[in-house]
Amino acid sequence: MTSHLTQQDWQARAGGLKLSTQAIIDGQAHAGRASPLDAINPATGRRLAQVASCNEHDVDEAVRAARRTFESGYWSGMPRAERKKRLLKLSELIMLHAEELALIETLDMGKPISDTLWYDIPEAARTYAWYAETIDKQYDEIAPTDAQALATITREPLGVVAAVVPWNYPLLMASWKVAPALAMGNSVILKPAEQSCLSAIRLGELALEAGIPPGVLNVVPGTGPVAGQALGMHPDVDCLAFTGSTATGKRFMQYSGQSNLKQIWLECGGKSPHIIFDDCPDLDRAALAAAIGIFNNQGEVCIAGSRLYVQSGVYDEFMQRMEAHAAAMQPGDPLDPGSKMGAIVDERQLARVLQYVDSGKQEGATLRVGGSRVRAETGGFYVEPTIFECGSQSLTIVREEIFGPVLAASRFDTEDEALAQANASIYGLGSGLWTADLSRAHRVSRKLRAGLVWVNCYFDGDVTVPFGGVKQSGFGRDKSLHALDKYSSLKTTWISLA
Ligand code: NAD
């Protein structure tokens, strides 16, 4: 794919963009019975569209449609080669519509167009293609029993899978769940976050165009407490895969316990430590990675390296580099291909980020750079890259997930001290360390309580590796073959040969 579109080209396209705003239930556009949601462009604060909002009756309709299509066997029992073909087609269609989808995502969520065009959309397309390719390569098992029996272990789809996702990578987070769930033969109900419904609706349309039968992928925009809760409490949803905050993740555990004990898989919040040892092999590269690690996507990243720990010997030098990167990453118009940071998703999140900045100042952290709302004249919700130096690990900005471009930096002296500080969190999602010492790299990686560890890099990865956390960052893994376990169950069939 190539794109030479300028800011003006994207603005012109935005003016002519036709947005789909209805829910998709059983293959049909559906108005939703709750009051419509406003899709707000975070770059301007202006309304882009009104989007259908589903209530519990709409959700029930979607679950019934999903159950019906699942039981019909049309998708779940479709020859694997055919199911694969249709998911590959969906991947192709996503790439065919990459510019349109990138624009939708940028307008709806505020992230830079270069990120949506070159990362979010191609990665989403790749996710469908990758799981499509797994479908006809899965074998079942025969257990090593004694000769009087034949015991088969077969993998079966679960039935109706609900996916409830956040707004920070709307299409990609959805795809990490929808692609493996569909590949396994389930029927799916996708509930996007209320701030970012538009790409999910377009995905539902493209899935129909790709030949995924009506009712197999339903999209129910709606609020968390109404549509999200209705899915969590529904007695006929078999599995609910969630990405979002830890607080909401805990609610889903409760919904499950109060309803049908549906399987719950949680990808929740993070407060990831990024450790720079004195023997860091390349301070320039590490500082760039640390800056991208916290400021990319406006800091609205679950694996953001939001706690930086720098060893005393390189602390001053490293922090100077961090300041320079912060200055160079000022937010700009998300439709400008040169912008490295865009707008915060909405006014509420903007207020939340600024409150954390205030708490940092009040609790005695030293503000080194940033800390303010910028570009307010645009009507948009922009915050400049912000770096605090923290003398204590008990500060609110060190402990809590901010989900904005705010870095809490601390100094340490010994490896043990760095590890103790890194692990002193309720979260355990991402983590990073920079060292030239191979033994230390292995030793520290093993001791970090996190689902992901990056050594001499940060954020790297692809669909082939599992993604998820420990502690209150959740459990279960998105991506890789392991994600298929979440959307299938094992059946043992014991056949007597006596
Ligand atoms: P959120 O928990 O507020 O919302 C996530 C989803 O849950 C949305 O679809 C929302 O409508 C729904 N929801 C909200 N309240 C609900 C309720 N009471 N009942 C049922 N559903 C409800 O999170 P957010 O603000 O959209 O996203 C930010 C959070 O997501 C951060 O904590 C971030 O770390 C996390 N996140 C985690 C990962 C990961 O892979 N671990 C990835 C991205 C984001």
User: How do 149-157 and 488-496 pair as beta strands?
Assistant: antiparallel
- Of 373, 279, 283, 276, whose CA–CA distance to 324 is shortest? 283
In the predicted model, is pLDDT for residue 56 greater than 70?
yes
Specify the pLDDT at position 3: 74
| Beta bridge pairs of residue 342 | none
What is the structure's pLDDT at 358?
98
Separation CA 84–CA 52 (nearest Å): 31
Query: Which amino acid is residue 424, in one-letter code?
Result: A
DSSP state of 167: S
Token pair for residue 152?
A: 């088969």
**Which ligand 1 atom sits closest to the C-alpha of 247?**
2
pLDDT of 116 reads: 98
Ligand 1 atom with the smallest distance to the CA of 223 is 11
72's torsion region: left (phi>0), alpha (psi -120 to 50) or beta? alpha
Mean pLDDT of 478-489: 98
Mean pLDDT of 237-258: 98
Cα(282) to ligand 1 centroid in Å equals 36
Probe ligand 1: pick from 127, 171, 201, 245, max atoms within 8 Å of CB? 245
- Six-digit token pair at 136? 């006809």
What lies within 8 Å, CB to CB, of 444 at 6+ separation is 275, 415, 418, 419, 433, 435
| Statement: residue 30 has pLDDT above 70 | yes
User: E strands within 259-391?
Assistant: 263-267, 273-276, 307-311, 366-369, 373-374, 382-383, 386-389
pLDDT at 19: 98
Query: In the 3-class helix/strand/coil scheme, how is 396-462 assigned residue by residue?
Result: HHHHCCCCCCEEEEEEECCHHHHHHHHHCCCEECCCEEECCCHHHHHHHHHHCCCCCCEECCCCCCC
pLDDT digits over 337-379, tens only? 999 999 999 999 999 999 999 999 999 999 999 999 999 999 9
Determine the distance separating the centroid of ligand 1 and the alpha carbon of 3, expressed in angstroms. Answer: 32
Residue nearest (by alpha carbon) to ligand 1 atom 23:
244
Taking CB atoms and a 6 Å cutoff, what residues make up the pocket around ligand 1? 164-168, 173, 191, 193-194, 224-225, 228-229, 232, 243-245, 248, 251, 267-270, 302, 401, 403, 429, 469, 473-474
> Mean pLDDT of all residues in the chain?
98
Q: Identify the residue whose C-alpha is closest to ligand 1 atom 4.
A: 244
Q: Could you list the active site residues?
A: 267, 302
134: three-class secondary structure by DSSP: helix
pLDDT digits (tens, 9 = 90+) for 447-460: 999 999 999 999 99
Average pLDDT rounded to a whole number, residues 214-225: 98
Q: What type of residue sits at position 141?
A: E
Tell me which residue has tokens 């549509």.
Answer: 227
Q: Is 40 in a helix, a strand, or coil?
A: strand
The residue whose CA has the least distance to atom 10 of ligand 1 is 224
Closest atom, ligand 1, to C-alpha of 192? 9
**Residue whose entry in the numeric block shows the structure tokens 């992230």:** 111
Pairing between β-strand 474-475 and β-strand 149-157 as defined by DSSP bridges: unpaired
Query: pLDDT value at position 265?
Result: 98
Banded model confidence at residue 204, pLDDT cuts 50, 70, 90: very high
Confidence of residue 2 (pLDDT cuts 50, 70, 90): low
Task: Quote the pLDDT of residue 152.
Answer: 98
Residue 20 DSSP one-character state:
P
Helix (H) or strand (E) holding 288: helix 283-295
CB proximity list for 79: less than 8 A, separation 6 or greater: none
Q: To test ligand 1's pocket by mutation, which of 199, 302, 350 has the most ligand atoms within 8 angstroms of CB? A: 302
Model confidence pLDDT, tens digit, residues 387-435: 999 999 999 999 999 999 999 999 999 999 999 999 999 999 999 999 9
DSSP assignment of 177-217 equals HHHHHHHTT-EEEEE--TT--HHHHHHHHHHHHTTPPTTTE
Closest residue CA from atom 39 of ligand 1: 267
Residues in the chain: 498
pLDDT of residue 345: 98
Using a pLDDT cut of 70, give the percent of the chain over it: 100
CA-nearest residue, atom 16 of ligand 1:
224
**Tens of pLDDT, residues 170-189:** 999 999 999 999 999 999 99
